Every structure is written in C-alpha cells, then in structure tokens.
Amino acid sequence: MTTWLRRLQIKKYAPRLLGLTFAAVFGLTCTIAGQAARQSPPQVSAAGADTPALRAARGIYLTKAVAGADTLLTERVSAVKGKVNALVIDVKDVDGIVAFENKIPAADEAGVSSNYISNIDGLLAGLKEQGFYTIARICVFKDDSIANARPDYALRLKNGGIYRESGGGGTWLNPYNRDVWSYTVDIAKGAAAAGFDEIQFDYIRFPTDRNADNADFGDTGGLNAVEIINEFARYVTTELRPLDTRTERPLRLSADIFGTVITSAVDRDLLGQDVTVLAGIFDILCPMIYPSHYAPNTLGVEHPDLQPYAIVYAALRELSKRLSELPENARRPVVRPWLQDFTASWLKVNFQQYGGEQVSEQINACRDAGVSEWLLWSPANLYHLDYVKPPVKKTRGKPITDFLAS
C-alpha cells in the first residue's frame, strides 16, 4: 500500500489543483445514468452522539475562484440547487492564499490574503437565504504561500533548505510547529466570524512524496506522526469550540482523511491519521474514498475505478467495523465521505469516464451502507447530479447576486 500511496502523490491531488483553470473554461455537463446494484448494508453512524441533530449534508466543492465570480457561482449553484444542500468553499487551498481579506489579521499581515471573494459576508448571506449549509475548507500543512513570509513555519530539509515536494512541487508547513497550529486557528476563527456553518480541515497529515525521507521536523518532543496529528486535532477543536454559541446552527468541525488509513496501518503511520482517535475529536469525519485512489484488488475489488459502488461500499463497511471497536460510550462522529466526480485519466488503464452513472453508484453505496451524508469532489466544479434525489424542499429567497451587490 505504501508504494501505491507514494506513487499516487504525483497524480493524487492534481485534479484539485486544476480547478482554478478548468472551472473558468468548461461549461456544466450532465450524464443520465442507471441505478446501481444493492447489497445488505452494514450500519455506519450518521449522527454524532454529541452533535445536535441537523439535516444530512449532501454537497459539492467550490474553488475560491468560482465562489468569488458572480456568473460562475450563479451558474454552478443553479445547476445543483434542489439536488444538494451544502457547499464546501475554499478559504485556504493548498496554494496557501486566503480567499478574502480583512477577516484574518495574521493572513493580511503576511500578505497571503486575496480578494477572490470580495464580499464574503454577502456571499454567505445569499447562500443561506437559498438554504445552503456552508463549509469552509482549510488546507493545513500543505501551503505554498505562508512559508515565504514566515519561513519559520516551513518544513525543512535535512540540508537546511525549505522542503519542496519531489519534482519541484509545493511547500509544506511543519506539523510540529505550534505557531502553525495557531495560524490555522486564526484562519478558522476568521471563517467562523464570516458566518460559515462548519470548518473543515484538509491536509492534516504528513507529506508522502519521494522527498519525504529528506524532511527535517526539528524537535519532535518524541512524538511520532500519529501522535502529533492527534495533538493538533485536540488543540484546534479545543480552541474553536468556545466559538460555538449559536443554537440554531452550531459551528461544527470536520476533518478530511485518506480512505486508505481505514484499513492500512502502514498508511496510518505514514500520514499520521488514526481514524479511531480522530473519530473521537471531530464532529464529522470525511474519508476521501475516491475509487481511483485505491490500488487494484483493494478490499477485494479488482479494478476500483471501474467498480465505484463496490469500492465505496467496501470502504464504508470497513470504517463501520473500525468505529464499532470504539467503547460503547465513546463519542462517534458523523461520517460524510468525499466521492469522486472526476475522471482519473492518469491511471492510463482500468479507468473510466465519470458521469451521472458513476456518481449515482457511489451515492447508492453510501445509502446502502447506512450513510446519509456525502460530498462530491470535482476540481472543475462541474457535477453530474441527474439521478440525485432532492434532499430538501426547494427554498425561496433572493438571488445570491442581490447579496453580493450589497
């Protein structure tokens, strides 16, 4: 699994990084699809024991470029309204650029704030008027910008230079640096103050590219990757929970995790993500169970990208087993997986064009596994939702542009 994981790093997040270009070029496409096969479901918790009962979030991802462009935003939201009720919006992507200004002093002072979203208050007000649950995505330890202004935040190489991914890739922040933790909390507080309903932490992990063996983490205090990620998770949730003063829509905290850490101890230790520990810290766990990101024959599925129902169902079944191992009175998170709505052409063989049929199969697998929440990832922000049933009644309200203009 480790070899597959390391090889995948070059391609794995390429679709995420292409979003700013593709989203501005391509129009919305939809493919009509059939229903997927059924299996008897294992049960996965769909409501956290300590989390107030809220409607199931079924959503899509939007780049900050799309969220900040009136025409593109209106187009994307109009295309999915009535099919999804949640939107994940980049507040800080892997480029390290914060999507808006004047909300996060630490980012403003470092020169990494932008006006991609020039009116974040108006944007969120408009989305909520339309009935959308809003999620702020914050990429934590992969960051291509802040290291320039704050080199003390940067992960270093053993030769003293700043760590860059193999092949001239991006920079990473040092997971052991508590100042990086504080910076992350500052960003999250700014997003909460702007009005987001949920803060979602991505890239709460260690780098795994070929250059990772040359990384110098400095003083680790004797903590390994899993232990320091657990400490980070406890820190940010402790810092942010006092902000949770709302009753109708309390601020919730979620974490993206690799799908492979559900079953692979090797990947758990390499990435620093222990699903059973993180399950007791965050309100929501979002395992990235993209079919294309699994090696052949994983979980008994010969060609995962060609068998989206089978691999998603199998992954959720395994996660259910892991969570069932927790003590009876242990806190359990909402499970809300990331699903694939992009074509993994880099696989070269044993892949397929993803459209409505493949998306439908993954959503059916979630339902049959007892999971009512899900998120779709498309780097181009183009989604295939023909067969998705409306999760809630359509809402009335002002067009979003009315709020953006205010």
Is residue 292's pLDDT more than 50? yes
Give the pLDDT confidence of 313-330 residue by residue, as tens digits: 999 999 999 999 888 888
Q: Is 395 within the bounds of a domain? A: no
Residue 205: band (very low, low, confident or very high) from pLDDT cuts 50, 70, 90: very high
Closest residue by Cα to residue 295 from 263, 254, 257: 263
pLDDT bin (cut points 50, 70, 90) of residue 404 is very low
Residue 160 CB neighbour total at 10 angstroms: 7
Q: Could you tell me if residue 152 is inside a domain?
A: yes
**Domain carrying residue 6:** 2-38+58-381
Predicted TM-score (pTM) of the model is 0.85
Cα separation of 331 and 88, whole Å? 25
* Residue 43 in domain: no
- Does the pLDDT at position 64 exceed 60? yes
Residue 73 contacts by C-beta under 8 Å, 6 or more apart in sequence?
A: 62, 66, 67, 123, 400
Summarised one tens digit per residue, pLDDT across range 235-282 is 999 999 887 666 566 799 999 999 999 999 999 999 999 999 999 999
For 84-99, write each residue's pLDDT tens digit: 999 999 999 999 999 9
Write the DSSP symbol of residue 360. Answer: H
What's the pLDDT score for residue 92? 98
Whole-number pLDDT of residue 54: 60
CA–CA distance, 348 with 291 (Å, rounded to integer): 15
Lowest mean pLDDT among 4-18, 213-227, 277-291: 4-18
Does 51 reside within a domain?
no
Is 154 a residue whose pLDDT tops 50? yes
- The predicted pLDDT at position 245 comes to 62
Residue 269 DSSP one-character state? H
Classify residue 354: in a domain, yes or no: yes
* Residue entry with tokens 């965050």: 282
Task: Answer positive or negative: Cα dihedral of 379, 380, 384, 389.
Answer: positive
Q: Is 293's pLDDT higher than 70? A: yes
> Per residue in 184-200, pLDDT tens?
999 999 999 999 999 99
Are the C-beta atoms of 294 and 241 separated by less than 8 Å?
no
Residue 192: predicted pLDDT: 94
Q: How confident is the model at residue 166 (pLDDT cuts 50, 70, 90)?
A: confident
CATH of the domain at 163: 3.20.20.80
Asked whether residue 394 is domain-assigned, the answer is no
pLDDT digits (tens, 9 = 90+) for 388-402: 876 544 444 444 444
42 vs 182, residue with greater confidence: 182
In a domain, 365, yes or no: yes
Please give the pLDDT value at position 329: 87
Our count of domains for the chain comes to 1
The rounded mean pLDDT for the chain is 85
| pLDDT at residue 69, rounded to an integer | 95
Q: Which amino acid would we find at residue 85?
A: N
In-domain check, residue 390: no
243 or 32, which is more confident:
243
